[in-house]
A and B are shown apart, each in its own frame.
Chain A
C-alpha cells in the first residue's frame, strides 16, 4: 500500500496569513495513464470531508482561489494564500493512483 505522510500535523495560523501543508507518498503517484491522482480534502468540525483539489492542482467547483496545490512524483503541497476563519479544520491528502486508496494522517489548521 502507498503510505501518505503529511507535515505538519498541526498548523496554528494567523488570520490573513498564508498556510502550507506538505504531503509525501511512499512511491510515485504517477499513474500508467500519465496522470497523478493526488487530491486534497478539507474536513470542517462535525462535517464530512469536502474535495478541494484533484490531480495535484485542479480546484474543484466552488473552491476559493486562495487554495492551490502543487507538486509532482512523491512530494505535494497545499497552500492557502490568506487563511480565513472558515478554513479551520483538518486537511487530508489522498492518493487514488493505486488501490487501496490511502489518506495522509491529516493536518489540523487552527487560528492562533
Chain B
C-alpha cells in the first residue's frame, strides 16, 4: 500500500534552517507529482509546494517562496524540503502528499512531521 513517511521535524529558533524528508513506497514514485502541505496547530490546511514527477517543475506558495526549496531523488524514492530563514509562522505539521495520477488532486498523505519555530 502507499506509504509516505515524513521525518526531520524539530524545534528550531527563528532565522535558522531545517530539512524535511519524505520516504515513499507502495507506488511508482517517479510517476507522480508530490506536494508539501502544512497545518498550523489548531488551524486549517495550507498548500506549500509541489514538485513534478521529474523534478523539473516546481511551484511555491508566496509565503515560502525564496526561503523553501523542494527537491526529489527518484532513485531513492525520497522527497526533501529545505527550509531556510524560518519564522514563527512556519510552525506547523508538514505533510508530504502525492498526486492522483492523470488529474489534479492529492490522494495520499503522510502522517506529518511537526516543525516548531520558537525562541
Q: Which residues of A contact B (CB under 8 A)?
A: 1, 31, 35, 37, 39, 41, 43, 48-51, 54-55, 60, 90, 92, 94, 96-97, 99-106
Contact = CB atoms under 8 A, between A and B. Distances in A.
Given A37-B105, A94-B45, 14 more contacts: A35-B103, A41-B45, A43-B45, A48-B110, A48-B111, A49-B106, A49-B109, A51-B105, A55-B105, A60-B107, A90-B44, A100-B62, A103-B46, A106-B45
A42 B108 CA distance: 12
Contacts of A35: 103-104
Contact of B45 (A54, A99, A103): A103
Chain A's interface: helix, strand, loop or mixed, by majority? loop
Give the contact-size bracket for chain B.
Answer: 20 to 34
A101 to B, nearest CB: 4
Interface of B: 35, 37, 44-47, 50, 59-62, 95, 100, 103-112
Given A48-B109, A49-B109, A50-B109, A97 B45 contact: no
B103 A37 contact: yes
Contacts of B106: 39, 41, 49, 51, 94, 96
B47 A101 contact: yes
6 contacts: A1-B62, A37-B103, A48-B109, A48-B111, A97-B104, A100-B59
A106 B44 contact: yes
Contacts of B109: 48-50
Nearest to A31: B104
Contacts of A106: 44-45
Contacts of B103: 35, 37, 54-55
